[in-house]
A and B are shown apart, each in its own frame.
Chain A
């Protein structure tokens, strides 16, 4: 029995990220900067972190899809190398707002965007949404979602709350220039594309996670959320 318990534990070992942007402490993670849309820079009065149970979460947006988000340097992505990025968030609504933005420019062929557009989540590469979550299960406001995007060198995959989505096109992952920052909850400080919601954690893994690994991370996330209640 103990042996089987050991194997059970071994089977659900959670993969370790190479980078974690943890906003639950109420402080900015290392190498991360807080930015606010130009329009409201001087008048922005929302706290940058909000309490969610016992922990904090990054507060994004705040003024009609303008407002607060963060940018981070020192990202671990490598050219032609597989990766997985995960993000746990709650959305308050909005259209065409990036949850994660990592590319040279809005329609650049490099990098990717995890875009929230109305009721759906999309993986955008270049101009195209190459993977979209299903319409019959629209994102609900103010409830928790856990999104992952992975690139295994050939295929892009996206999961939303453990449901897997793939697309017909699989363009290559082109590494953005070194100056590009990893944007969490926004695109730039001039347009109104700031994500309206809160972000708990963003994690990057140096491999394309399997579904079992994603479920294990999701289980751990659920346990953490329960503990933080």
Chain B
């Protein structure tokens, strides 16, 4: 009886603790049969995940990354992805290791912010004899707080979904996703949660306006004023505690700012303004979170740069990078900015002077100290004799030191490349719109097409060639383009960086490496071949410190000021961290996922450009990198390349942001796999080149777009030689209608790239309709360039295809039996994959490729294999696998079948198979008895493992 009573009390206690029954539970198995089970509980204030990972090899458990946010997912771990709202694309990502260390990141529209390290999450892990388990509680306030206002409206008891990924390293290396997602961010396939009984009103606390400034120095300590705002947008008054803290960039040191208890009624806001002491200038993370007695209500953090400026002199106009004056630059006054955090007295003066290398004063100017601090000071240079000059600002205020900055006037050289003050690229005094790509531009030039590319980005280290020799000088000769190679040392070559390289890069650059970079760069000095140095591809803090790149950039500029420095950012937050090292930033947006009426990629291009531009700061430019990769289309669930319309829309969408000063096709080597890209890339490039003056103009004009759908339209308008040019982009998959009112002096505008050109009139209400993804360009300039119209390009694509089909050879370019390119794309430690393309051409055979998964169950038609236009003789089949364990499936488990014109499948006779490894790609070569087939397919005798995917199949008759 006593036992029964105890059991009853225990179960009552458990129900009280767990909040009742699980709202979702399940089990999934790895290929090895090892199980992972989970239960999800919904409490009023938090979501609880209880995960049990069976592990027969507990003694081999790998718990990598004991440090928060570092490499947790590399060892045994479970990754948890939670999407709170039906709307938007915000996902909270967590990884938990058996020893309880965690990784957390916020993914917003495929843009991952790994700096997101919220508070309020409870994680408990336990290790048993043959299992390890996780008990994780995540406050709703935290998850809902990540959403924007629009997405919050889509958050209710049925809007939540999640995915779990088990990464197993003990015993064998394997991984499995709980949801049937193609990649981990494919939230459409996440497991849906029902009856998430959150107190949604409690979660409507908003934290905004986080910033830091007014840095002062007091003794050996610095102080700054931190600000932030907390809004109660919930339903009632609550007594809460607002915590504010500052941590260093690595989050190892915490500077508690304040902990304030207060009541806020609905609609009230609290503005926090606190002074904090910190030891040195640098990058910090400012966090504010709100809690009540029960749990966390909201959390927000931002990176802040706290810098004490005792006195600072900088050149804000008239010199590139604030110090370089090149011979081909137009003559302009130098504009100086003086800053100091010291107070100056009324009546104090500021003397600004420029001295040459012999300390002789070249020019000087005296102004009131208050004037010098209030506005910029212009100085006319009396001459431009090459040399290194010292600019000084000297205040009469006692105790204020002299501020200095360097000015370098350079002798004329053959190849001067820099950014103009308006952000445009300049080469030898002439502004140009940069069109290029990752890989050799021009390599995939269809016959009869003119060259449009001007630069290429090459991965890998580049040493100076012997005179007239070397791979890159050949490239220049052949394609007339310049390059952006990686500098040495090799740890920065390309992505992915190996863990060993990463460790080396997480510290200041060693002198020998600095010396080597200097030698390499000096070897290229004055070369006509280099467009810039490609410092890093998608840098991340776990790979390299920002200071590392700052040093490399400084070395590059020191040895050769004409060599600009570039990086590619995939996330907008990288701009703030790494932007300092770059003259120009390439931002690459990955193929998104079409939903009905929504195209995420196109939706976030402009926002990404805006955030990246803000992150890198003024005086720097952006290059847009439209992707030529294959991606999964949500409507068909099949991987495919962007269509011509999508490609064109992406390019022009990015150009509606004024900071974009060039295009970098990402990557050009994929041009050959899709006719839309093969013809489209060249034709879009050609039109972009023709419209160069439009892109180079900085004379922006404001348009008046109205109508219900006006906010969806992306646009930019500029005057070129006094004539108006307009670019209008419909980024959505739906038609769009807007009313456009032009400025009164616009004149008559005609459409440039349409066969059914519309005319727009100034002063009138012009009604414009857009097809999905349509781009329209108008100009009032009678001398506007003649563009190749969209219809003409589509016809080119059709004609080309027809011609090639007639010839029986749909091969765009031939290289015998050599693989044209790898179609597998793996990034971020294999957790983010884009599978193979649908169609490509090899050796004159039209090859249809299907990804192994996911096939719609109801559709029997798709198969893993090849379809030919007509029956072909085949004697050898090569299958390229991408597999996580780097093993090819056992050939005895594969069935090769062929079908003739009658469509009946028959087994092909396999005479031998072998496996060849090539990095992550495993090549399986099987010889078969010659057979004439119209279709070939591969079937599995065993269940096809999830972690294996075919990236290419080729058929040969030799």
Contacts and interface: CB of A to CB of B under 8 A. Distances in A.
B917 to A, nearest CB: 61
B236 A146 contact: no
A55 B62 CA distance: 62
A74 to B, nearest CB: 30
Given A162-B262, A163-B260, A140 B269 contact: yes
Interface residues of A, number: 19
Interface in A175-229: 211, 215, 218-219, 222, 225-226, 229
A145 B260 CA distance: 17
Nearest to B236: A226
A223 to B, nearest CB: 10
B262 A143 contact: no
Q: Is the interface of B mostly helix, strand, loop or mixed?
A: strand
Contact of B273 (A136, A161, A229): A136
Given A143-B266, A144-B265, A146-B263, A162 B239 contact: yes
B771 interface: no
A43 interface: no
Contact of B239 (A140, A218, A229): A218
B271 interface: yes
B10 interface: no
Interface string B264-291: 1111111101000000000000000000
B293 to A, nearest CB: 9
Contacts of A229: 236
B238 interface: yes
Contacts of B894: none
B271 A136 contact: yes
Contact of A143 (B260, B268, B271, B273): B268
Contacts of B266: 143
Given A140-B268, A143-B267, A163 B239 contact: no
Interface in A142-189: 143-146, 161-163
Contacts of B869: none
Contacts of B238: 222
A137 B271 contact: yes
B342 interface: no
Given A162-B263, A163-B260, A144 B237 contact: yes
B14 to A, nearest CB: 15
A161 B262 contact: yes
Given A163-B262, A215-B261, A225 B236 contact: yes
A219 B237 CA distance: 10
Contact of A140 (B263, B267, B273): B267
A163 B260 CA distance: 7
A226 B265 CA distance: 11
Given A222-B236, A225-B237, A161 B267 contact: no
Nearest to A212: B261
Contacts of B261: 162-163, 211, 215
Contacts of B239: 162, 215, 218-219, 222
A163 B274 CA distance: 14
Given A136-B273, A225-B237, A218 B263 contact: yes
Contacts of A162: 239, 261-263
A143 B270 contact: no
Q: Is the interface of A mostly helix, strand, loop or mixed?
A: mixed
Interface string B900-928: 00000000000000000000000000000
A140 B269 CA distance: 8
A161 B264 contact: yes
Contacts of A161: 262-265, 268
A36 B407 CA distance: 75
Q: Quick one: which of B238, B264, B265, B267 has the most chain A CB within 10 A?
A: B265
Contacts of A218: 239, 263
Contact of A222 (B237, B271, B273): B237
B263 A222 contact: yes
Contacts of B264: 161
Contacts of B268: 140, 143-144, 161
Contacts of A137: 269-271
A161 B241 CA distance: 12
A159 B474 CA distance: 77
Contacts of A134: 273
A168 B382 CA distance: 59
Contacts of A146: 263
Q: Quick one: which of B236, B237, B267, B270 has the most chain A CB within 10 A?
A: B237
A23 to B, nearest CB: 18
A162 B237 CA distance: 12
A140 B263 CA distance: 13
B265 A143 contact: yes
Contacts of B260: 163
Contacts of B237: 144, 222, 225
Interface string A116-150: 00000000000000000010110010011110000
Nearest to A216: B239
A139 to B, nearest CB: 9
A163 B272 CA distance: 12
Contacts of A226: 236
A119 to B, nearest CB: 12
Interface string B473-498: 00000000000000000000000000
A214 to B, nearest CB: 10
Nearest to A159: B262
A134 B260 CA distance: 14
A229 B261 CA distance: 24
Interface in B223-275: 236-239, 260-271, 273
Nearest to A140: B268
A133 to B, nearest CB: 11
A140 B229 CA distance: 14
A162 B239 CA distance: 8
Interface string B408-434: 000000000000000000000000000
B249 to A, nearest CB: 28
Nearest to A139: B268
Interface string B653-672: 00000000000000000000
A196 to B, nearest CB: 18
A173 to B, nearest CB: 26
Nearest to B242: A163
Q: Quick one: which of B262, B263, B266 has the most chain A CB within 10 A?
A: B263
A161 B270 CA distance: 11
Q: Quick one: which of A144, A226, A229 has the most chain B CB within 10 A?
A: A144
A15 B884 CA distance: 67
A165 to B, nearest CB: 12
Contacts of B265: 143-145, 161
A227 to B, nearest CB: 11
Contacts of A136: 271, 273
Nearest to B271: A136
Contacts of A219: 239
A163 B230 CA distance: 14
A136 B236 CA distance: 22
Interface in B490-537: none
A219 B239 CA distance: 7
Contacts of B271: 136-137
B206 to A, nearest CB: 15
A143 B261 CA distance: 18
Interface string B757-771: 000000000000000
Nearest to B237: A222
Interface string A53-74: 0000000000000000000000
A184 B193 CA distance: 53
A140 B270 CA distance: 10
A107 B766 CA distance: 67
Nearest to B227: A136
Nearest to B268: A143
Closest 5 pairs (CB-CB, A-B): A144-B265, A161-B263, A162-B262, A136-B271, A143-B265
Given A140-B269, A161-B268, 5 more contacts: A144-B268, A145-B265, A146-B263, A163-B261, A222-B237
5 contacts: A144-B265, A222-B237, A222-B239, A222-B263, A226-B236
